[in-house]
Amino acid sequence: MKFSRQTTLRSQATVTGVGVHSGLPVNLTIGPADVNAGFIFVRSGLEGCDREVRASAKSVIATELATVLGDTDGPLVSTAEHVLAALRGMGIDNAIIEVDGPEVPIMDGSAAAFVAAIDQAGIREQSAPRRFIQVLKPVQVAIGDSFGELRPHASGFRAEVEIDFAHPLIGRQNYILNLSPENFRREVCRARTFGSMSDVARLWSLGYALGASFDNSIVFDDTRMLNTEGLRYVDECARHKVLDAVGDLALAGLPLLGAYRSVRGGHKLNHAVLTALLADHSAWRVIEAEPARRPRGHAEVVSGMLGGMVAPAYGPDVS
């Protein structure tokens, strides 16, 4: 189901897990937000008072191991990409995400638990038309041997991801996702984060990945996969990179209408391409969905990516 108007959650839902780097227990609650609010993280459990940070490209303060959001006083919430991917992937426009620790819980290393929480909370349509950022011309970024590009696309959002690892069980993989709630749920939401045992050992020595385990990560040694249950998809690693891209690009503040291509990329590249797009005001515009025509008395739920035609709303402004 897709909506021509903005959406939020009907109620709250909570998931509980551990932070992949801190290893500490953490609770995350997603809940309703007002029209045009976007995604707002509320960091609770701090001395003094709760602190809010908007999920936007401007709030990103680190991308080395995960996407970290913060403000002028420092980091507030890490590993934001999986819950953001679930919200954007399932067609949510506005949500409050309360976290009582420094990290979003890693859960099983995918977005499946957050999709389940969205299902539990339910989706409610709001009064305002849905807004989009439409990509008008290609924007490209190269970082070393990594390459990323956002370009115009006829309808909806499309992610094209290529990875290339020396490990014999990963190698070169490609995956393409035409984003819709149905495709996100079926194709990528269960794809888990992955890494090598040597990388995990190195991170442990640096005080990171303290919560990493076979329960929340795909782990490889030099020649084999160490998880006894095996892969969920043959190309699970590429699919997880697509999941990460959906979450990182949710930091645009509005759903994107465009195609994103990533070659040997990650959080750093995703953020760099999004930042380059938003910095070039000739490369995008904000448009909004026109209400879809439907028989009188029918529910306000429509098919089609945009729920009807789209029309320019106003100039570049995602504040």
Active-site residue list: 267
Max distance between CA atoms of the chain, in angstroms, equals 63
Of 221, 167, 231, residue with least CA distance to 197: 221
Of 120, 102, 86, residue with least CA distance to 27: 102
Q: Does 82 belong to an annotated binding site?
A: yes
Environment class of 276 (CB within 10 Å of its CB; exposed 0-12, middle 13-18, buried 19+) = middle
Tell me the two tokens of residue 71. 């403000």
Three-class DSSP category at 205: helix
Would you state the torsion angle of the CA atoms of residues 34, 39, 45, 51, taken in this order, to the nearest 10 degrees? Answer: -80
Q: Does 281 belong to an annotated binding site?
A: no
Cβ neighbors of 5 (< 8 A, separation 6 or more) are 125, 126, 127, 128, 129, 130, 289, 291, 300, 307
Q: Can you tell me the distance from the alpha carbon of 169 to that of 235, in angstroms, rounded to the nearest whole number?
A: 10
Q: Does 119 belong to an annotated binding site?
A: no
The pairing of strands 218-220 and 194-196 is: parallel
Other beta carbons less than 10 A from residue 48's beta carbon: 5
> Distances in Å between the alpha carbon of 109 and those of 31, 83, 195?
22, 11, 11
Q: Can you tell me the distance from the alpha carbon of 50 to that of 41, in angstroms, rounded to the nearest whole number?
A: 10
Report the binding-site residues: 82, 240, 244
What residues are designated binding site for Zn(2+)? 82, 240, 244
